[in-house]
């Protein structure tokens, strides 16, 4: 006998304004409980000290999490000059100090070195795996964690304000896997001092921003109600930047059963344009039914649509 899944079926995205002091997992657990949902996950971890946009996926939306995580993110954060910590943020222990306070002009002059594709070494206290273990677990056990540099893409870097010689507020638009804490650590080195992140807020994840967000406190007040469900966005909300095509009923049935279907009719022109703009990897698109319901994420290759993730909606 099949094991009964606990909770109610709920599919879609919740845009949570994460409070300070909770882990991303804590927030997902609470949101899942408030909706009595069967399945939930999130698109991109926020540190406990960080606040802001945490996109939580329920049910079939969890199949779109990889695409949401690949989206650009916007952060606003404060660097506190003159003290480095073992975690590179305000929650860590001070491991180095400096009397040097960079002048605003020097900070601005250092920014271009971080724009575009660069190499970044993640903080020792990060979720990067080392021989199957999380780096932060090893660091907490007192082990010396040496992580390799990884490609990082930062599209925009701005100084928002300089409240005092000890503090500078930045805003950053970046790609997946960029660590704000690592940026602050590295720019401090360039400027001949040390620093840590004292305030961190995520303003946006792809198409998910502050305008559509709800606080955990407000969500708790309407828990288990229809009012709470009004804050759950459709599954395809995370896929706004991915091309979509409608397919016929027969092809919808084949895709749902995991079969590839040939490109037909009016889809040819769209398929050709996608192939021309594609690199080495097959282009990915969202297939919809004639009624506009999401059917699957699919790869376009060899003149056919090949299902990657099929939605049971």
CATH assignment at residue 19: 3.30.2350.10
Q: Are residues 108 and 138 in the same domain?
A: yes
CA angle, 242 then 289 then 2, to 5°: 100
Q: Are residues 145 and 33 in the same domain?
A: no
What is the predicted pLDDT for the residue at 2?
52
Burial of 3 (0-12, 13-18, 19+ CB in 10 A): exposed
Q: Dig out the tokens for 305 from the structure.
A: 């649509």
**Domain contains 2:** no
Q: In total, how many domains does the chain have?
A: 3
What is the predicted pLDDT for the residue at 272?
64
CB 188 within 8 A of CB 167: no
Q: What is the pLDDT of residues 27-40, one digit of tens each?
A: 999 999 999 999 99
CB 237 within 8 A of CB 207: yes
Is the pLDDT higher at 138 or at 233?
A: 233
What is the predicted pLDDT for the residue at 260?
92
Q: Are residues 107 and 168 in the same domain?
A: yes
**Domain contains 6:** no
**Domain contains 5:** no
Q: Are residues 128 and 214 in the same domain?
A: no
Q: Which residues are catalytic?
A: 47
Is the pLDDT higher at 206 or at 145?
A: 206
Last residue of a domain, one of 195, 216, 238: 238
**Domain contains 272:** yes
What is the predicted pLDDT for the residue at 174?
96
Partner residues linked to 299 by β-bridges? 284, 306
Last residue of a domain, one of 192, 222, 238: 238
What is the predicted pLDDT for the residue at 137?
63
Longest CA–CA separation in the chain, Å: 70
Spatial distance between the Cα atoms of 115 and 155, rounded to a whole number of angstroms: 6
What mean pLDDT value characterizes the chain?
Answer: 89
**Domain contains 169:** yes
In which band, very low, low, confident or very high, does the pLDDT at 113 lie, cut at 50, 70 and 90? very high
Q: Are residues 222 and 273 in the same domain?
A: no
Rg (CA), the chain: 22
Q: Are residues 126 and 199 in the same domain?
A: yes
- Tell me, letter by letter, the H, E, C secondary structure of the chain: CCCCCCCECCCEEEEEEECCCCCHHHHHHHHHHHHCECCEEECCCCCCCCEEEEEEEEHHHHHHHHHHHCCCEEEEEEEEECEEECCCECCCCEEEECCCCCCHHHHHHHHHHHCEEEEECCCCCCCCEECCEEHHHHHHCCCCCCCCCEEEEEEEEEEEEEEECCEEEEEEEECCCCCHHHHHHHHHHHCCCCEEEEEEEEEEECCEEHHHCEEHHHHHHCCCCHHHHCCEECHHHHHCCCCEEECCHHHHHHHHCCCCEECCCCHHHHHHHHHHHCCCCCCEEEEECCCCCEEEEEEEECCEEEEEEECCC
The phi and psi torsions of 12 (rounded to 5 degrees) equal: 145, -175
Is the pLDDT higher at 127 or at 113?
A: 113
pTM of this structure: 0.88
Maximum average pLDDT range among 17-21, 63-67, 287-291: 17-21
Q: What is the pLDDT of residues 211-236, one digit of tens each?
A: 989 999 999 998 888 888 899 999 99
CATH assignment at residue 258: 2.30.130.60
Q: Are residues 169 and 199 in the same domain?
A: yes
In the predicted model, is pLDDT for residue 101 greater than 90?
A: yes
Q: Are residues 141 and 230 in the same domain?
A: no
Closest by alpha carbon to 206, among 168, 241, 156? Answer: 241
Q: Are residues 89 and 201 in the same domain?
A: yes
What is the predicted pLDDT for the residue at 239?
87
Q: Are residues 250 and 302 in the same domain?
A: yes
b/e map 12-32, b = 16+ CB within 10 Å: bbbbbbbbeebebeebbebbb
- In percent, how much of the chain has pLDDT > 90? 63
Q: Which domain holds residue 124?
A: 73-205
What is the predicted pLDDT for the residue at 78?
98
In which band, very low, low, confident or very high, does the pLDDT at 279 lie, cut at 50, 70 and 90? low
Closest by alpha carbon to 178, among 41, 73, 22? Answer: 73
Q: Are residues 84 and 129 in the same domain?
A: yes
Once rounded to an integer, what is the mean pLDDT over residues 192-218?
Answer: 95
In which band, very low, low, confident or very high, does the pLDDT at 284 lie, cut at 50, 70 and 90? confident
**Domain contains 277:** yes
Once rounded to an integer, what is the mean pLDDT over residues 146-172?
Answer: 94
Q: Are residues 102 and 165 in the same domain?
A: yes
Last residue of a domain, one of 238, 259, 281: 238
């Amino acid at each position: 006998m099949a094991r009964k899944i606990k909770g109610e079926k709920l599919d879609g995205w919740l845009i949570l304004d994460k409070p300070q002091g909770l882990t991303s997992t804590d927030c997902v657990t609470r949101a899942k409980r408030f909706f009595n949902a069967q399945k939930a996950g999130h698109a991109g971890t926020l540190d406990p000290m960080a606040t802001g946009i945490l996109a939580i996926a329920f049910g079939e939306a969890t199949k779109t999490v990889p695409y949401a995580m690949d989206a650009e993110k916007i952060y606003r954060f404060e660097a506190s000059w003159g003290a480095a910590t073992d975690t590179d943020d305000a929650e860590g222990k001070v491991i180095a100090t400096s009397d040097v306070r960079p002048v605003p002009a020097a900070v601005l002059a250092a920014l271009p070195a971080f724009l575009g594709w660069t190499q970044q070494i993640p903080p020792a206290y990060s979720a990067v795996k080392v021989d199957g273990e999380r780096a932060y677990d090893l660091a907490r056990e007192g082990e010396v964690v040496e992580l390799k540099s990884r490609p990082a893409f930062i599209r925009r870097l701005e100084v928002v304000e300089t409240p005092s010689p000890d503090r500078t507020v930045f805003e950053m638009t970046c790609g997946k896997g960029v660590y704000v804490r690592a940026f602050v650590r590295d720019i401090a080195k360039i400027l001949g001092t040390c620093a840590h992140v004292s305030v961190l807020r995520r303003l946006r994840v792809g198409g998910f921003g502050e305008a559509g967000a709800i606080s955990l406190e407000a969500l708790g007040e309407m828990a288990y109600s229809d009012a709470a469900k009004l804050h759950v966005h459709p599954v395809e909300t995370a896929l706004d930047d991915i091309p979509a095509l409608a397919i016929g009923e027969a092809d919808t049935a084949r895709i749902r059963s995991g079969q590839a279907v040939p490109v037909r009719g009016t889809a040819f022109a769209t398929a050709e344009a996608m192939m021309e703009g594609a690199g080495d990897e097959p282009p990915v698109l969202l297939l919809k039914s004639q009624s506009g319901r999401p059917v699957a994420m699919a790869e376009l290759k060899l003149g056919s649509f090949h299902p990657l993730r099929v939605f049971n909606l």
